């Protein structure tokens, strides 16, 4: 995406202007003739707007409000993102005012390019606003002709690694550009926990609110203390992440991790490092950016610490002079090959003059992303096997139907060789999918994976054909008596993952895509007795799925477990719409 010089300059000036209007929650600027509308958010210099009073956590984080941001989670793993509580609270306040929504709505109608921007702690508000409007677009409440952009300057970190994961999955990651000055402390401040040092932090924020670029003598020691505190924590954090990426086999790391508090915050989107003494350095590899946040302002010796500490505060307002350099020589290439990525990281290391450790950490960040791609290739190579096995099970299903015994019941009885063969295919497919799920659990596949049409469709096809077989197997061996009902105790993880992928993609209610596992509910009702509401619900859902072609006709064969169960129902619970469907 090519960035226009004008846009960046305008965004920055709007962001700074917003600071100067403390009574307005946001500003809107649209110049005639330009196709952009810029919304800027001001920052706050009160400590409670950085570390919320309501939070007990050392880093001021909380689980994100999924009602506001339903996409900010890892779908299969069911892990919601962490977000800075103070920032989320401030954003929610602004959202309550309908003015913002109206103005953005209008800009969208006029087919303008909407840009959200903020400097310092205005950045997180811009970020959350952008994500919120992207969610609205996804739900269909607002139609943008081009998706909104987010530009931040010297913004602190906002959320956990799930931000990066989820935004990549939704293909929104490219819409976020963060400008960071080489020594600026604020983008690094949440790598540490200053909640124990609130007083010192308050003094620093106070100084920053005056927009001066020179640190006075009386603040020098505090600046040095805070800088050292932040950098020491950043050292621990970045080294910990690097150890994990390097696949360190030393188990002491696990033991020690139990004794230390690590920041949950991580970068996401694209970062542009300014003031590097040449062309700016860009990266969208969030692990590389994390390492750079530490190594780029690492002092060469003890003597340098005070100087760098002072600059770390002074440079926070020094973006204006650096911005003109930010577009020179930059090409946002879409070439994402391995060689290119490694080359870019090496260039970054050179530009910053990184130490050997720094270089190695950058390198491993690049390798880690490459490995994710390699894992995906390996998984892709199994697709033909998978499709073949699925075809055979499809064939089995047809044969069963011809013989007037449905897929589910035929498999449960295991009378013929064809049932046995289907069992073998079932186990083969299980092996393939379990490996995929294992990779997803460790975030070892590219973030886009769970959003890709190919996998969602394959997963749904597999689930619809094979989960009934797993359920039949479960109840055939009476495992429900040993372990418990299938849905609560026996359901393999892979089906949960695949069901949630589909539900997220189609924006369905959680748990509603249950067309593959209703057999389990039927079995339970058959065993334990018919609870009225549950029985009615199942019948209604089955009718719905039949209408939409999501379940096969073999469900309604005369001898099927489902029909037998239905026949056993009391007349007051029975839904007679099912009667005409029964055949065979």
Partner 1 sequence: MTKLFSSGSELANVVVGSDLLQQSWKAILELANGNPDPSLRFGISQEGKNPTIITFFTSHDFAIDRLKQGPDLVSSSSSVAKDSFGLFVSLSGKTQFAINRAAISLFDQHRDKLLSELKDKINDSNRLIITGYSLGGSVALLFTLWLLESVTSRKPKPLCITFGSPLIGDTGLQKALVQYSWNSYFLNVVSDQDPVPKLFINPDLGTETAHLENGHKPFGTFLLCSGSGCSCFEDPETVLQLLVKTAPSANQDLNQRNGLYPYGNIVEYVKRKALCRDNSDAERAPSPFAAGIITELSAIGITSPQDQNEEIDGLVERMEKQEKKFLMAKNKSLISFKKLTDAKIFMTYLEWYKKASEDKKIGYYDCFKKKLSKTDMDVDEFCRRLTNYWVDMVEAAEKKPQKEGASFRMRCLFGGTNYRRMVEPLHIAKYYNQKGGRQAIDYRNKGRHRHFRILEEWLEQWQKEQKNEVGSTTPNDRKRKMVAPSLTIDSCFWAEVEEAILSCKLLNSTESSVEEKDSSKKDLKKFEAYVLGLLKAYSVSIEIFLEGSSFMLWWEDYKKAMGSSFTSPLTNIIENHHKRKRYATGDL
Cβ neighbours for 508, distance < 8 A, ≥ 6 positions apart: 502
Closest to partner 1 by CB, 79 or 428? 428
- Identified binder of partner 1 from the candidate list 1, 217, 252, 402, rule CB under 8 A: 252
- Of the residues 19, 165, 178, 316, only one is catalytic, namely 316
Would you list the DSSP string of 327-395? Answer: GTT--------HHHHHHHHHHHHHHHT--HHHHHHHHHHHHHHHHHHHHHHHHHTTHHHHHHHHHHHHH
Q: Decide: is 197 part of the binding site for partner 1 (CB under 8 A).
A: no
Q: Which tokens belong to 362? A: 């950058």
* Min separation Cβ 529 and partner 1, Å: 18
Q: Which tokens in the block code for residue 77?
A: 């793993």
Interaction mask 431-450, partner 1, x per CB under 8 A: x--xx--x------------
Q: Give 166 or 407: the residue with its C-beta nearer to partner 1.
A: 407
Long-range contacts of 33-37 (CB under 8 A, 24+ apart): 34/6, 35/112, 35/113, 36/7, 36/10, 36/112, 36/113, 36/114, 36/115, 37/107, 37/112, 37/113, 37/114, 37/115
State which of residues 56, 210, 249, 334 lies at the interface with partner 1 (CB under 8 A): 249
Distance CA 336, CA 24 (A): 42
- Between residues 423 and 541, which has the closer beta carbon with respect to partner 1? 423
Residue 150 in 3-state DSSP? Answer: strand
Interface pick for partner 1 out of 56, 301, 381, 571 (rule CB under 8 A):
301
Give the residue, chosen from 367, 447, 521, 523, that forms a contact with partner 1 under the rule CB under 8 A: 367
Is 423 near partner 1 (CB under 8 A)?
A: yes
| Spatial contact of 88 and 128, defined as CB atoms under 8 Å apart | yes
* Minimum CB–partner distance for residue 299 and partner 1 (Å): 5
Instruction: Report the greatest alpha carbon distance in the chain.
Output: 91
196 near partner 1 (CB under 8 A): no
Q: Catalytic pick from 74, 120, 121, 173?
A: 120
Tokens 């015994």 identify what position?
405
Q: State the nearest-atom distance from the C-beta of 261 to partner 1, in Å.
A: 9
Q: Kindly tell me which of 105 and 414 has the beta carbon lying closer to partner 1.
A: 414
Q: Contact between 235 and partner 1 (CB under 8 A)? A: yes
Q: Could you confirm whether 184 is annotated as catalytic?
A: yes
Q: Which of 17, 34, 430, 541 binds partner 1 (CB under 8 A)?
A: 430
Residue 158 to residue 178: CA distance in whole angstroms? 12
Helix (H) or strand (E) holding 176: strand 176-181
Binding partner 1 (rule: CB under 8 A), the pick from 355, 398, 454, 567 is 355
Stretch that binds partner 1, among 69-77, 99-107, 428-436, 491-499 (CB under 8 A): 428-436
- Of 198 and 373, which CB lies nearer to partner 1 in the complex structure? 373
Interatomic CA distance for residues 120 and 127, integer angstroms: 12
* Cα–Cα distance, 310 to 307 (Å, whole number): 5
Task: Tell me the two tokens of residue 59.
Answer: 């880093």
- Active-site option among 49, 184, 222, 554: 184
Q: Does 240 bind partner 1 (CB under 8 A)?
A: yes
The three-state DSSP-derived secondary structure of 395-451 is: HHHHHHHHCCCCHHHHHHHCCCHHHHHHHHHHHHHHHHHHHHHHHHHCCCCCHHHHH
Out of 23, 254, 509, 572, name the contact with partner 1 by CB under 8 A. 254
Would the CA dihedral through 460, 465, 470, 475 be positive or negative? Answer: positive
Nearer to partner 1, 54 or 477 (CB): 477
395 is annotated as an active-site residue: no
User: Would you count residue 346 as binding partner 1 (CB under 8 A)?
Assistant: no
Among 259, 329, 335, 547, contact with partner 1 (rule: CB under 8 A)? 259
Other CB atoms within a 10 A radius of the CB of residue 37 amount to: 21
56: contact with partner 1 by CB under 8 A: no
CB of 301 to partner 1, least distance (A): 5
The count of other CB atoms within 10 Å of the CB of residue 456 is 18
**Does residue 222 have an active-site annotation?**
no
**Which residue, 417 or 576, has its beta carbon nearer to partner 1?**
417
The answer to whether residue 478 forms part of the interface with partner 1 (CB under 8 A) is: yes
Q: How many CB atoms are closer than 10 A to CB 225?
A: 14
The interface region with partner 1, picked from 158-166, 208-216, 358-366, 512-520 by CB under 8 A, is 358-366
User: How many Å apart are CA 390 and CA 75, to the nearest integer?
Assistant: 25
Cβ closer to partner 1: 3 or 246?
Answer: 246
242 binds partner 1 (CB under 8 A): yes
What is the b/e burial string over 97-112, where b = at least 16 CB atoms within 10 angstroms of the residue's CB? eeebeebbbebbeeeb
Which one of 32, 381, 384, 417 is in contact with partner 1 (CB under 8 A)? 417
Using the rule CB under 8 A, which residue among 6, 53, 78, 247 binds partner 1? Answer: 247
Residue 246 beta carbon to partner 1: minimum distance, rounded to whole angstroms: 4
- Residue 280 CA to residue 180 CA, distance in Å, equals 10
Footprint of partner 1 (CB under 8 A) = 228, 231-233, 235-236, 239-240, 242-243, 246-260, 298-302, 304-305, 355-361, 363-364, 367-368, 371, 374, 414, 417, 420, 423-424, 427-428, 430-431, 434-435, 438, 478, 481
- Active-site annotation, residues: 120, 184, 316
């Amino acid at each position: 995406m090519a960035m226009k010089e004008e846009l960046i300059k305008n965004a920055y000036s709007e962001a700074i202007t917003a600071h100067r209007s403390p009574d307005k929650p946001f500003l809107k600027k649209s110049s005639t003739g330009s196709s952009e509308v810029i919304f800027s958010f001001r920052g706050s210099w009160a400590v409670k707007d950085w570390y919320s009073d309501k939070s007990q956590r050392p880093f001021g984080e909380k689980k994100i409000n999924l009602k506001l941001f339903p996409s900010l989670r890892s779908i299969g793993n069911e892990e919601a993102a962490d977000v800075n509580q103070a920032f989320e609270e401030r954003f929610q306040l602004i959202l309550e005012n309908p003015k913002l929504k109206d103005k953005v709505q209008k800009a969208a109608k006029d087919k303008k390019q909407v840009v959200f921007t903020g400097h310092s702690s205005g950045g997180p508000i811009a970020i959350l606003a952008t994500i919120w409007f992207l969610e609205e677009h996804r739900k269909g409440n607002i139609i943008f002709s081009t998706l909104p952009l987010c530009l931040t300057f010297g913004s602190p970190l906002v959320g956990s690694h799930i931000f990066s994961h989820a935004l990549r999955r939704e293909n929104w990651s490219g819409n976020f550009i963060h400008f960071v000055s080489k020594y600026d402390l604020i983008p690094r401040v949440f790598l540490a926990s200053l909640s124990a040092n609130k007083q010192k932090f308050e003094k620093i924020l106070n100084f920053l609110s005056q927009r001066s670029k020179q640190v006075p003598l009386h603040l020098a020691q505090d600046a040095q203390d805070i800088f050292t505190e932040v950098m020491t924590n950043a050292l621990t954090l970045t080294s910990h992440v690097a150890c994990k990426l390097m696949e360190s086999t030393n188990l002491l790391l696990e033991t020690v991790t139990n004794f230390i508090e690590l920041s949950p915050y991580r970068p996401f989107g694209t970062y542009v490092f300014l003031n590097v003494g040449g062309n700016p350095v860009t990266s969208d590899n969030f692990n590389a950016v994390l390492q750079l946040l530490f190594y780029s302002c690492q002092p060469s010796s003890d003597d340098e610490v005070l100087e760098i500490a002072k600059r770390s505060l002074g440079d926070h307002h020094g973006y204006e002079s650096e911005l003109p350099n930010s577009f020179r020589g930059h090409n946002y290439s879409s070439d994402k090959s391995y060689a290119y990525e490694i080359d870019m990281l090496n260039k970054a290391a050179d530009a910053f003059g990184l130490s050997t450790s720094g270089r190695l950490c950058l390198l491993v960040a690049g390798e880690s992303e490459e490995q994710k791609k390699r894992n995906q290739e390996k998984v892709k190579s199994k697709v033909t096997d998978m499709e073949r096995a699925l075809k055979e099970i499809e064939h089995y299903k047809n044969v069963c139907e011809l013989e007037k015994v449905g897929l589910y019941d035929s498999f449960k009885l295991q009378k013929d060789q064809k049932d046995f063969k289907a069992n073998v295919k079932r186990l083969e497919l299980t092996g393939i999918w379990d490996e995929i799920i294992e990779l997803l659990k460790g975030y070892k596949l590219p973030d886009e994976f769970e959003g890709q049409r190919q996998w969602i469709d394959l997963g749904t096809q597999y689930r619809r054909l094979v989960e009934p077989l797993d359920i039949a197997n479960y109840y055939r061996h009476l495992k429900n008596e040993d372990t418990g009902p299938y849905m609560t105790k026996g359901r393999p993880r892979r089906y949960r993952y695949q069901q949630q992928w589909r539900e997220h993609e189609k924006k369905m209610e959680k748990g509603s895509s249950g067309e593959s596992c209703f057999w389990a509910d039927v079995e339970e009702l058959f065993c334990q007795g018919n609870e009225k509401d549950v029985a009615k619900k199942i019948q209604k859902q089955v009718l719905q799925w039949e209408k939409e072609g999501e379940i096969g006709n073999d469900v309604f064969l005369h001898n099927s477990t489902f029909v037998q169960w239905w026949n056993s129902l009391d007349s007051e619970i029975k839904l007679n719409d099912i009667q005409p469907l029964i055949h065979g």
